[in-house]
Structure 1
Amino acid sequence: MTREELDRLVAQYTAKTFDQIEDTLALEWEETGLDQYRWNLTDRAYELAGALSHADPEPALQLAREMAPSAAEDALRKLARRLMEAQLKGIKAELEALCGEPLERPPVYVSPLSTPQETPKATPRLSELARQYGDERVARKSWTSRTEFQVRGYLTLLSDMLGDPFIGNVTKNDMRRFGLELARLPSNMTKRFPGKTPREALEAAGDDETVPRLAPNSVNAYTQAIRSFFNWAVEHDHITQSPAAILKNMETGRASEDRHPFDDEDLRAYFRKLDAKRGLLPVEYWVPRIMAFTGCRLGEAAQLCAHDVRQQKGIWVLDINEIEDDKYLKTTGSKRLVPMHPRLIELGLPEFASSAPSGFLWPKEMRTNPNPKGSPVDKLQKRLAYVLRSAGIEDAKKTASHSFRHTVSSRLKALSIPEYQISEILGHELGSISTGRYGSVTDLATLKAVIDQLALPI
């Protein structure tokens, strides 16, 4: 990657960042919400500054890979650091604006190589380039089978909706219109309107308010995949700028509104029912307890290996990683070391792992799925969900696969644990900053002290 290409990518990202800042500043805020937002910005600034001070580009490496998927590793690290610097500058500018100062946008970057006399080159059709993009990601093993199935489907829908144009002819107006139509697409189209194309299904649904539309999370999955595809097309010089940059995510509400945490009575009822289950398997005994005391995702607990339960600097940890080929992680921030709660040690998790055969702790059918359309942990999830409902927990927003995570998050927040430390334990992204095993700014001993404060009736 040349310096000119690096400057261009960073300039595009910076411009988009400041567009988002302007959109945020234009919202109607309540003072309490604004205060919380300032605190969140400050936490993110400390995280970025900490990573930059340690020359650690990991928090932005995944973003760099999405923007320049074919770049060499050293170029990606340079790009990641530049992106983190742009993020930090944006946060500082936003905080100053929230203190009454004018928002100062950085100067617009103009490529020294661009000339008005250049003749646009012929470009491939959108469907052909989407196929090449998918083939490259599969060859690089960047996608799981399920991700491949989903993203190829997203891009096929895009091509169909736009009429499979030459990619160089796709404009921002085309993408703006597509974004509006995407939000109006019926859910479960193939079942509701069998034999119809997406556009025909959209026309058949019309303005009928009884027809369910795609959920915001589904719309956002489409737009994220499409933005990544167009960024790849820019990186490969098929187009000079991404028309998909104008696609914005739909508001989905805070995660805490999507799923409810368990209360003490829920936990007692669930584990009482679980332990009374006839023929209880080790995976059914341990995985819920691991999720309860770490807040890890079901997929992360299901793919633990014997050597992932180990000591680091004298502290028992769970190593959440993707070292083995059959492992997968949701984001780059998911890689992390989670200190083991004393209760898991008391229950004998280290001894169980050390006595288990090398390799994965749980049977293959509990962590993989031969159907690429389904979740890899579909079988295990259904088993745990059955016990949950059998225990009398009927709230649809309390689930065995998500509510443990929200339980840990909400209880640590109640203890006034800093947001970024909770993020490091849970391995999720805070704003646009991903934290985790390599992006962490907190030492293991401190995180262990945080975990040790978690009190659960299990």
Structure 2
Amino acid sequence: MKVIAGTKYLYIRRERFYFRMRLPKRLGVREVRIAFNTQNLSLALQKLHRYKPYIQQLKQLVITSKSLDTSEIKPTLMKIKDAMLKQLSVNDIDAVIAELEQGYSNGAHAINVLGQTSLLGDDNKFKDELSYIAQATDNETRTIRLQEVIGGLSEADKWPFMEALSSMAKVLVGLSGDVDESGVNELARQLLLSKGFDANTSTLAFRVLVSKLTTSSKVKHELLQTIFEGDATAERQLQQLLSSNVTSPVSDTPPVKPKSTKPLFSQVYAEFLALKITKDKLSEKMQKSYERMHIVWLALTEDKPIDTYTKQDIGLFIDRCFELPRMNISPYNKMSWKERLNVDVPDEHLQSPKSVEQYHKWLMGIFSYAKRDTIAYITTSPCYIKRNFKARIRGIFNDSELLRLLNSAKNENTPWKKWIIYLGIYTGARRGELVQLRKNDVKHDEATNRYYLLITDDHESQNLKTSNSKRIIPIHNALVDAGFIEYVEGCEDRVFAALNNVEVVTGWMPRHMASLNIAPTNELDHIRSFHSLRHTFITKCMSAPEVNINLLQQVVGHEISSFGITSNYTHKVTNIKNLIPIIDAFEV
């Protein structure tokens, strides 16, 4: 494999071009290599140019890899590579074929008008040129040869040549019969490569494309014949058939919005960062700060086209940032990013509002770049949201809001949404503890005839915040009455098998609250989120008469307060009968 002179990442091997970027050994992958599937240097250089934002992302990953957890590097690397390959999905197919079919009719009429020249006899001066083009085995080579031929013609010969070429096309249409399967496969592959997709012929999406392209090719062949024969009625019918292939039938469902053609946020961010480094001389310290924010953004928000983000997306991200821990204190400074995002953070350890405001300013800078008149990825920025970047306190829900949440849970058809609300309200457990519950963690105590949750890290992928987090929580009778035990009995292993990430709950809760007309802040401007269910549980239990603080701390997994020598005898009571009064004292 040899590098192409004058380029840094373009290589050639066996007359085929490749993108290749070597990486440090610590990343776990020695290089990123992508086949361009072309022998044309011009096309390869065009594709390499489209990779510029991703090359910048790869460079940035190399810079920040020293400070990242090794488990985070490879997924990030694979995400960048997948974006470079632009994977084909079934949803992309109709748009690809529709664009191809748009020119069928006009092209056929142009061929019909130009193709009046006889190809028989020795008077055709372009026989050699036409034969050279016809012998090409694929569309790319055919296009290259056509460009070569036209480039070598005089101005006077170009028009007669196009007439001869059109006449040859008319003859070939008349001679051809069924659509050649291998030809359609090659057409599909070339079509995908021209659109920047990965042409993996083994995927379901590719096979679906070939099937639809076969149908489209048959209609195209018939359309060409009707135009050449002058059958206007048949032509009109076939044009309507082509239109129906890409037009959805009228229905009560809203039309699907056209897929965005704008670059992903990650690509725009790479362009923005490159500009800041080259034009504004962004310091290494600020580069690292930017990359930390980018990591959090990717962890909490979907990477999608820049013009599809809404104010709600930005607001949810900023609200989630208020729940992040300060990174410069123990134990958070020793955690991976995944652990930091999942940890339950006491109020005194939360990021300062000023730090959260930096995330907002960072986003405003990126979207302002995307809005520039010389860039024009977007026309308006979604970053203009109202947030108070002063000291924020976590708030609780009042009884009316709790009832609204419970009533919605009773009527909820999605199991995890139903039971995550019930458990959040009646156990005070952290969202991460609930998401990782196993069926075996729901147990029954014979002595008290009560069910309880065992919050543990015994199973694979289970993690707890501290040693105090390992505990038992008696199950409230309201949960039993609602059918929670029957639901658990129907589970195979995980109680919430549909939830693989606590961020699903975190992102869903604000939308759910909004649908119930529950404000994200209370009248005291205290922020509310799923974690506020835990605060509400603790607050209501502490308000109950004669509550034992020590036992409450054991139920919620807090460190036991010291009350002198007596605390040595009350610490870590595991007998469920002593904890039941705490749970039963909670009422909505």
Same fold (TM over 0.5): no
TM-score w.r.t. the length of structure 2 is 0.34
TM-score, normalised relative to structure 1 = 0.43
